[in-house]
Chains A and B, each alone.
Chain A
């Protein structure tokens, strides 16, 4: 134990040492898996790895995000969460919450569920956020004389979120593919379609767009979810101009379950893309 504490102290010392010298993208990270589903009886593990070249301290937390009709995820401040969202935050237990890792050192984060007696059936979800804690105030050096103007230092705190979903009771859901079209966005052309959902849980899967008679899919997009807080969402995928032109016309769109659970079809439809 004493040895362990010594080692820990060293890691901390190394981290402090790194803070003093200019850090090269300290805070780069890897997280696996990218989605966690729990049924309340068993826990799981998520791996966090420091893939940067400097030691870094990471903070792990849970936050509530709500899906929008546009398919985005809005972050919800803790004081604005609903009772069900509060239940989700309270039932998901995890450890550790803060860890300092040298480069290429993985850390296992244990995730468990504590289901209070009488929890109503439903899907409870929070998003686990992994992000690097920035170095203490960057050494500002010599203050600039008045003639030298202003210099700007913006420090991004960047991280990854993955959903942690707890399913209580026997839940089901279906989804249907709506209209599909190609549009021009400010970021370039995009392939869009509507996805509607019914039932009491989320749907999740992969999208494959094929041209009838052509084996090679035109477009594959994996990991598209419709969460229970929305009955419908738009899926808007930015595509190169060349592909946008090819997508116009008759296509077959298939929404299938994750390959890891068999890849069964959720819905498929023939559409003429305009």
Chain B
């Protein structure tokens, strides 16, 4: 079954490749000259996630902060375990290009067993100037943990964008 699916997938890829060749050939014959235009590009890749790891809540409300450098500050009354990391993104494009970076300033997390938490988000810089090897920016945040916060897996999504002017 797996092999069969694989074959079909290959066939699908081949069809796509043929279709692309056909249109390329058509374009060349229409103009009679071969031209290639190199477009300026931008790429955005995620290199690490913003991670607060595991937190055991205390009797009073407190916060856990992860700096854009990835350093964690575990608030009074909380126990934090595991490795924290800042979110990190790599941008590549034209050497010297200025790219505006940023995203949501806060995110709400919903618990698998009920309950919510919120986190503020901070970005390492409002813009980056790309070097020959591109550039990167980081996302840190401060998570507000309630008194005796309900246990569970909390999840949430937030937006991050790299913007060309």
Interface residues of A (CB under 8 A from B): 3-4, 6-7, 10-11, 13-14, 25, 27-35, 47, 51-52, 65, 67, 70-73, 102, 105, 127, 129, 131, 134, 137-138, 140-141, 143-163, 187, 204, 206, 220-225, 227, 236-238
Q: Which 6 A-B pairs have the closest CB atoms?
A: A7-B12, A149-B56, A32-B41, A225-B165, A32-B39, A28-B45
Contact B42 A30 (CB under 8 A): yes
Chain B interface mostly helix, strand, loop or mixed? Answer: strand
Interface residues of B (CB under 8 A from A): 5, 8-9, 11-13, 15-16, 39-47, 49-57, 79, 81, 87, 89, 93-100, 102-103, 107, 109, 111-113, 117, 119, 124-129, 139, 141, 143, 145, 149-165
Contact A32 B161 (CB under 8 A): no
Q: Which of A6, A30, A127, A151 touches B12 (beta carbons < 8 Å)?
A: A6
In the complex, residue of chain B having the shortest beta-carbon distance to the beta carbon of A14: B9
In the complex, residue of chain B having the shortest beta-carbon distance to the beta carbon of A25: B46
Quote the shortest CB–CB distance from B94 to chain A (angstroms): 6
Q: Which residues of B contact A4 (CB under 8 A)?
A: 15
Contact B165 A7 (CB under 8 A): no
Q: Which residues of B contact A13 (CB under 8 A)?
A: 5
Quote the shortest CB–CB distance from B149 to chain A (angstroms): 6
Contact A158 B44 (CB under 8 A): yes
Q: Which residues of A contact B124 (CB under 8 A)?
A: 187
Q: Which residues of A contact B40 (CB under 8 A)?
A: 32-35
In the complex, residue of chain B having the shortest beta-carbon distance to the beta carbon of A159: B161
Q: Which of B45, B57, B79, B125 touches A187 (beta carbons < 8 Å)?
A: B125
Contact A156 B41 (CB under 8 A): no
Known: A134-B157, A153-B154, A156-B87. A28 touches B163 (CB 8 A): no
